[in-house]
Amino acid sequence: MKRIPLILDGDPGHDDAIAWLLAEAGRRRGSFDIKAVTTVGGNVTLDKTTYNALRICTLLGLPAPVAKGAEHPLTADLMNAPSVHGESGLDGPALPEPGIELSELTAVELMVKVLKESEEPVTIVSTGPLTNTAALLLSHPELKSRIGRISLMGGGIGFGNWTPAAEFNILVDPEAADVVFRSGLPLIMAGLDVTERALLQPEDFSRIKELNNPVSGIVWQWLEFFYEFHRKLGYAGAPMHDPCAVMVLLHPELFTVRDYYVEIETGGEYCRGATIADKRRVTGREPNAKCIMDLDRDGFADRIIEAIGEFT
């Protein structure tokens, strides 16, 4: 099987870090070729997410250039979510200082380089606000055909989390999401519908801790930190939002996927950032996204634990 070329675009973040861990494990097993890591402001400020990206890639030994992305959303003002991930955006265990240099290219420049050089269409895995990808599409429309698909964590067909109607990543930059959802590119959407069910539970944490490899202890502490926040909201585990966007590429059989026409609300008083899905086909529009609606939770947890086991 050919390796799938990937660009990992995110705002790490605990669950971004675990998503990238899955990607790196996939690379080690021959599934992926990670061409670039790009950052965006979201969970915390761009400086912090970029620093975190460098630390994560160092920890994982993920051999890809890291480039700093957009300072702010396309048109909206920046908003951050530090309460979920702590002050640093990746609170919990002490991480190694970055052992790699930040690329001199901007995120969009690095994406352009990767797309131009790649022989195969590239899959973009977006686990933060969609600003970089939208900026790429707006500034380099000629490269659209080089993008194979975009697998993104964002939105929710039935509900939101940051407002009752909107999920955080989409809410931060709804205009960027609108560009992406109108792009005509194949989209895989891991929304809250599935990601809030993609729980790692305390018994999984123990299994991870027992792996006792150079990465497992840190992942275990991330999960403890991340779960602590969500436990107070009534969750039975730590929701693995972002890892869904990678796992669906490795193990599509774990997921229940529906084809829907999805639009982004960019206006609205209560609905800005909502992903509105035409489940009943009342608009007459053809579906533009594969929306993940459910998963085999136990199989998902097993695959994550297996991936962490790669880092011996």
Partner 1 sequence: MSEKYPVWMDVDTGTDDAFALLVLHQLDCAEIVGLSAVSGNTPLENSFRNTRSLKTLMKADYPVYRGASKPLFREPHYVPEVHGENGMGDVNLPLPEKEEPEKAAWDALCEAAVKYGGSLTLIATGPLTNIATAFLKYPKLPGLLKKILIMGGGTQEGNITPAAEFNMYADPDAAKIVFKAGAPIVLCPLDVTERVRLTQEELQEIKGYGNEAGPFLYEMLQKPLQYHLSIGNDGAELHDCFPVLYLACPELFDTEEAGVAVETKGGISLGKTVTDLYSDKQFDFRNALVALDVDREAFKKKLKELIRQMP
What phi and psi, each to the nearest 5 degrees, are found at residue 265?
A: -80, 115
Q: Determine whether 295 is exposed, middle or buried from the number of CB atoms within 10 Å of its CB (0-12, 13-18, 19+).
A: buried
Q: Output 124 or 165, the one with its CB closest to partner 1.
A: 165
| Rounded Cα distance, 151 and 189, in Å | 6
279 interacts with partner 1 by CB under 8 A: yes
Rule CB under 8 A: choose which of 226, 263, 310, 311 binds partner 1: 263
284 interacts with partner 1 by CB under 8 A: no
The minimum distance between CB 233 and partner 1, in angstroms, equals 5
Q: Output 118 or 159, the one with its CB closest to partner 1.
A: 159
Q: Of all helices (H) and strands (E), which one includes residue 33?
A: strand 32-39
Stretch that binds partner 1, among 90-98, 198-206, 275-283, 299-307 (CB under 8 A): 275-283
Rule CB under 8 A: choose which of 17, 18, 187, 277 binds partner 1: 277
109 interacts with partner 1 by CB under 8 A: no
Which residues 192-211 are close enough to bind partner 1 by CB under 8 A? none
Q: Output 94 or 282, the one with its CB closest to partner 1.
A: 282
Which residues 219-258 are close enough to bind partner 1 by CB under 8 A? 233
75 interacts with partner 1 by CB under 8 A: no
| Rounded Cα distance, 140 and 106, in Å | 14
271 interacts with partner 1 by CB under 8 A: yes
Catalytic residue IDs = 241
Q: Output 2 or 280, the one with its CB closest to partner 1.
A: 280
Closest CA to 242 of 130, 161, 152, 181: 152
Q: Output 82 or 159, the one with its CB closest to partner 1.
A: 159
DSSP reduced 3-state for 193? helix
Rule CB under 8 A: choose which of 93, 268, 299, 309 binds partner 1: 268
266 interacts with partner 1 by CB under 8 A: yes
| Rounded Cα distance, 50 and 68, in Å | 6
Pair 20, 62: CB distance under 8 Å: yes
| Rounded Cα distance, 21 and 9, in Å | 13
Stretch that binds partner 1, among 4-12, 94-102, 280-288, 298-306 (CB under 8 A): 280-288
Pair 108, 139: CB distance under 8 Å: yes
Pair 43, 53: CB distance under 8 Å: no
Rule CB under 8 A: choose which of 2, 94, 184, 282 binds partner 1: 282
Q: Which residues pair with 106 in a beta bridge?
A: 68
The minimum distance between CB 196 and partner 1, in angstroms, equals 9
Q: Output 58 or 163, the one with its CB closest to partner 1.
A: 163
Which residues 131-170 are close enough to bind partner 1 by CB under 8 A? 157-165
Return the structure tokens found at 161: 């989390």
Q: What is the DSSP string of 14-27?
A: HHHHHHHHHHHHHH
Residues 6 or more apart whose CB falls under 8 angstroms from that of 249 comprise 4, 26, 31, 32, 123, 125, 151, 188
Residues at the site binding partner 1, with contacts judged by CB under 8 A: 157-165, 233, 261, 263, 265-272, 274, 276-280, 282-283
